[in-house]
Amino acid sequence: MINGTEKCMEITAPAHGDSAEVQRQRIDADIVCVGFGPATAGFLTTLSKQLVNQDGTPAVESAVMPGAPPQVLCYERADDIGFGVSGVVTRARGLRASFPDFDPKNIPMAAPVTEEKVVYLLDPIGASRRSRTLRAADACIRALRGLLPFQDGAVELPWSPPFLHKTGGLVLSMGQFMQWVGAQVQSTGAVQIWPGTPVAEALIEDHRVTGVRLLDQGVDKQGKPGDGFMPGMDIHAALTVVGDGPVGPIGQQLDAQFGLPEGHHMRDWAVGMKFVMDLPADTALQPGTVLHTFGFPEPEIFGFLYVHPDHVASLGIFVPSWFDTPVRTAYRYLQHWMQHPYLWRHLKGSKLRSWGAKTLGESGRRGEPHLVGDGFARIGEGSGSTNVLTGSGVDEAWTTGAQLAESVLELLKAKRPFTRQNLEETYLKRRRASWVEVEARVAERSRDGFQKGVLRGMVGMALAGLTHGRFTLNGEPVPPYKRIPTIEEYYRGRIPEREIQQLRQECAIKGVSLHGALMQRCGWPAIPYDGQLLVSHQDALLLGGKVQAPPGYADHVVFLYPELCERCGTKICIELCSGQAIAPGEGGVPDFDREKCVHCGACYWNCAQPIPGNPERMNIAFRAGTGGLHSAEN
Ligand SMILES: Cc1cc2nc3c(=O)[nH]c(=O)nc-3n(C[C@H](O)[C@H](O)[C@H](O)COP(=O)(O)OP(=O)(O)OC[C@H]3O[C@@H](n4cnc5c(N)ncnc54)[C@H](O)[C@@H]3O)c2cc1C
Ligand code: SF4
Ligand code: SF4
């Protein structure tokens, strides 16, 4: 019988069913990197500046190409550099340390932060699922509106806690910034970045990581070789740098292989979905403005709006794993959020430029895996660097990458191998002594209060932030599936079961998710599509995300135990899917359409069923895959 861990390993292994006849090409490098996000960008920026002396001679020597500088390769899954999603407002401490002469004018869409506001949005529709306490609070606010900074159904908080401030920081398009960094790094000639090249797995021999295997091409959806089969190459390297983000398959494989440190778990997540838009030319929003919202469309959903130069804004919402509903649909909620009168007065008449979604690993320090081992090191969000208290991940990810680069240079110069012990004595030591660690410790338990409600969560967060982590409110994070009631349970008292059944059948016949019908039934108005900004989900995929998937690759989203899907009462994977790539399928097992997938990874942690033998692992595998978003504005 297959136990949970073995199944976990099996799914992170390549799907081609390797056999003796498969001849794989081999490349020998010194360092191989997985993923080119902010973490690896920080690593390569720091490393590439110090590999070669000013006179062109190697500052340190390659082990695989004697006489040359170390051979450094980086493989990125997305079809080009910067095709991911992020906010971003950042204090940019790490970025500025790497680029002391940094001038935002050199990067498209970059602006210094000029104004920050935290805004509480009341419910203008009456459909939001507010607790009695929150409804009472809303009634008080409305009654006292003349005395409060109340405007268009919202209250701008007169004071916001300092830990949220990004004073002196930057508003960026991460896509544009990453393209700029990619060009800088490659112009040194010291490293190569290969986009459109997913890494399928880490090569592991006797508990030592010896490199990576790239994804097979010319296979069918199940990974079986067909015409034009090209087995993925094996890249052997003394050091594998894993910076594949919060749901990266190589991080998953290492977690399955080496486990997590005692007491650590990854149970807190969110999916962030965003629009980039052209605001009306006469907008009152000034570049560098930063708004954070809470309260609407649901109390658990936080929103953000950042203003770039030239009347462009990035905005979106986060739907967290502790949002206890089986309809965690980011797209529909994002459209209701944008139409809140407080925001709509600025957004009306705007035009969609870009759209996308991505998972945020919210466990932070508590989700930290083993950061180093023989032959590997982990950096960035997949290494637990994201700070949920300050709402900051880019600067932290970048800084962990820069710290690893300094450590690698130290080891190369001393001709010490990349063993676990040597990496602990260099990278781990730097990381533990840095602001990333100090602030991560403060944030570690800051959001536990949200496990027992929003108001409690906000109080707990404020307490943790204001007391530097000494106090917060308790709440034990549980795996997301434990928080998901069935649709019948959730709507009990509001929609009769018979009606839910009927709506379910109608939606299954149309091949669409159920949440639209359920939300409408509970008072959420239909979205008045205008073809410009309020567009259908399909139009957002095509116009905003420009989503594509090249042929000849295996499906990267896989339903591990179909029998669990057949019995599943929520089918939350269909309801939440950011790209409508998961749809009702035959016999209760959903269908996956690779061509619509934006690689947000939200299905991986949202699935409602744990697999047999592993209560921390859900029934969806999220493997390495190609394609996805084709926009570098996010
Ligand atoms: C909507 C949204 C808004 C956010 N806003 C902010 C903000 O305002 N400020 C802030 O500081 N942070 C923000 N964040 C968080 C921030 O984006 C992350 O913390 C940061 O991007 C983490 O960087 P990383 O390099 O660790 O991982 P990632 O950015 O996830 O990069 C990982 C890279 O690895 C690649 N990859 C994955 N698997 C493979 C594979 N098998 N082979 C090859 N490549 C692979 C991915 O394509 C990706 O390019 C936001 C996040 C979201 C989703
Ligand atoms: S993948 Fe998970 S959420 Fe989706 S139907 Fe299967 S068990 Fe249910
Ligand atoms: S199928 Fe793709 S788009 Fe849908 S939730 Fe999963 S990763 Fe995101």
The partner residues of 548 in beta bridges, in order of sequence, read: 628
Q: Pairing relation of β-strands 72-75 and 191-194?
A: parallel
For the CA atoms of 32, 36, 38, 43, the dihedral, rounded to the nearest 10 degrees, stands at 20
Q: Which two tokens stand for residue 294?
A: 């809470």
- Cα 369 from chain centre: 17
* CB neighbourhood size of 202 (10 A): 23
Residue 161, pLDDT score: 87
Provide, rounded to the nearest whole percent, the portion of the chain with pLDDT above 90. 88
Give which of 9, 33, 12 is closest to 379, Cα–Cα: 33
The tens digit of pLDDT for each residue in 615-629 reads: 999 999 999 999 999
Q: Give the separation between CA 291 and CA 157, rounded to whole angstroms.
A: 11
User: Is residue 394's pLDDT more than 50?
Assistant: yes
The partner residues of 585 in beta bridges, in order of sequence, read: none
Ligand nearest to the CA of 599: 3
Q: Pairing relation of β-strands 351-361 and 269-278?
A: antiparallel
**Closest residue by CA, ligand 3 atom 8:** 600
Ligand nearest to the CA of 360: 1
Residue 5, pLDDT score: 36
Identify the residue whose tokens are 């969806």.
620
**Closest residue by CA, ligand 3 atom 6:** 603
Q: Give the separation between CA 541 and CA 536, rounded to whole angstroms.
A: 9
Distances (CA, A) of 453 to 347, 382, 407, 611: 31, 27, 42, 28
User: Is residue 22's pLDDT more than 90?
Assistant: no
Averaged pLDDT, 3-10 = 36
Residue 281, pLDDT score: 95
**Closest residue by CA, ligand 1 atom 30:** 245
Residue 513, pLDDT score: 87
Lowest-pLDDT range of 2-16, 44-58, 73-87, 566-580: 2-16
DSSP conformational letter for 333 = H
Report CA(98)–ligand 3 centroid distance (Å): 34
Query: What is the pTM (predicted TM-score) of this model?
Result: 0.95
Q: Which two tokens stand for residue 358?
A: 């991505």
59 and 69 in contact (C-beta within 8 Å)? yes
* Coil, helix or strand at residue 136: helix
The tens digit of pLDDT for each residue in 501-524 reads: 999 999 988 888 899 999 999 999
Averaged pLDDT, 581-585 = 94
Give which of 115, 28, 18 is closest to 72, Cα–Cα: 28
376 and 242 in contact (C-beta within 8 Å)? yes
Averaged pLDDT, 444-473 = 90
Ligand 2 closest atom vs CA 589: 5
Give which of 80, 174, 74, 90 is closest to 401, Cα–Cα: 74
Q: Which two tokens stand for residue 256?
A: 């399955």
- The chain-wide mean pLDDT, for the chain, equals 93
- Ligand 3 site residues (CB inside 6 A) read 557, 577-579, 581-582, 597-603
Q: Give the separation between CA 474 and CA 184, rounded to whole angstroms.
A: 45
Ligand nearest to the CA of 272: 1
For the CA atoms of 109, 110, 113, 115, the dihedral, rounded to the nearest 10 degrees, stands at -10
Ligand 1 closest atom vs CA 382: 26
Q: Is 14 in the pocket of ligand 1 (CB under 6 A)?
A: no
Report CA(66)–ligand 2 centroid distance (Å): 52
* CB neighbourhood size of 280 (10 A): 14
* Coil, helix or strand at residue 586: helix
207 and 376 in contact (C-beta within 8 Å)? no
Q: Which two tokens stand for residue 488?
A: 């019948």
DSSP conformational letter for 628 = B
The count of residues in the chain is 634
Report CA(290)–ligand 2 centroid distance (Å): 37
Q: Give the separation between CA 330 and CA 626, rounded to whole angstroms.
A: 23
Q: Which two tokens stand for residue 145?
A: 């509106």
Q: Dump the DSSP string for 242-293.
A: E---TT-HHHHHHHHHH-PPTT-----EEEEEEEEEEPPTT--PPTTEEEEE
For the CA atoms of 310, 274, 39, 623, the dihedral, rounded to the nearest 10 degrees, stands at -140
Residue 356: φ, ψ to 5° = 180, 175
Ligand 2 closest atom vs CA 618: 2
286 and 118 in contact (C-beta within 8 Å)? no
Report CA(560)–ligand 2 centroid distance (Å): 9
Residue 85, pLDDT score: 87
* Coil, helix or strand at residue 313: strand
Residue 18, pLDDT score: 56
**Closest residue by CA, ligand 2 atom 6:** 565
The tens digit of pLDDT for each residue in 150-187 reads: 999 999 998 888 899 998 999 999 999 999 999 999 99
Indicate the top mutation candidate among 381, 390, 631 to test ligand 1's pocket, ranked by most ligand atoms within 8 A of CB.
Answer: 381
Averaged pLDDT, 554-567 = 97
**Closest residue by CA, ligand 3 atom 4:** 577
Residue 19, pLDDT score: 53
Indicate the top mutation candidate among 355, 394, 399 to test ligand 1's pocket, ranked by most ligand atoms within 8 A of CB.
Answer: 394
User: Is residue 14's pLDDT more than 70?
Assistant: no
3-state helix, strand, coil in the chain (%, to 5): 35, 20, 45
Q: Is 378 in the pocket of ligand 1 (CB under 6 A)?
A: no
Instruction: Spell out the SS3 assignment of 74-97.
Output: EECCCCCCCCCCCCCEECCHHHHH
Report CA(84)–ligand 1 centroid distance (Å): 7
Ligand 3 closest atom vs CA 578: 3
What burial class does residue 21 get, using C-beta atoms within 10 Å of its C-beta: 0-12 exposed, 13-18 middle, 19+ buried? exposed
Residue 578, pLDDT score: 97
User: Is residue 17's pLDDT more than 60?
Assistant: no
Find the helix or strand (DSSP H, E) in which 239 lies.
strand 234-242
Q: Is 250 in the pocket of ligand 1 (CB under 6 A)?
A: yes
Cα-Cα end-to-end distance for the chain? 44
Ligand 1 closest atom vs CA 394: 11
Buried b (16+ CB within 10 A) or exposed e, 559-568: bbeeebbeeb
Report CA(253)–ligand 2 centroid distance (Å): 21
User: Is residue 7's pLDDT more than 60?
Assistant: no
626 and 16 in contact (C-beta within 8 Å)? no
Ligand 1 closest atom vs CA 88: 8
Side-chain half-sphere of 55: how many Cα atoms within 13 Å? 1
Q: Give the separation between CA 161 and CA 198, rounded to whole angstroms.
A: 41
Ligand nearest to the CA of 276: 1
Provide, rounded to the nearest whole percent, the portion of the chain with pLDDT above 70. 97
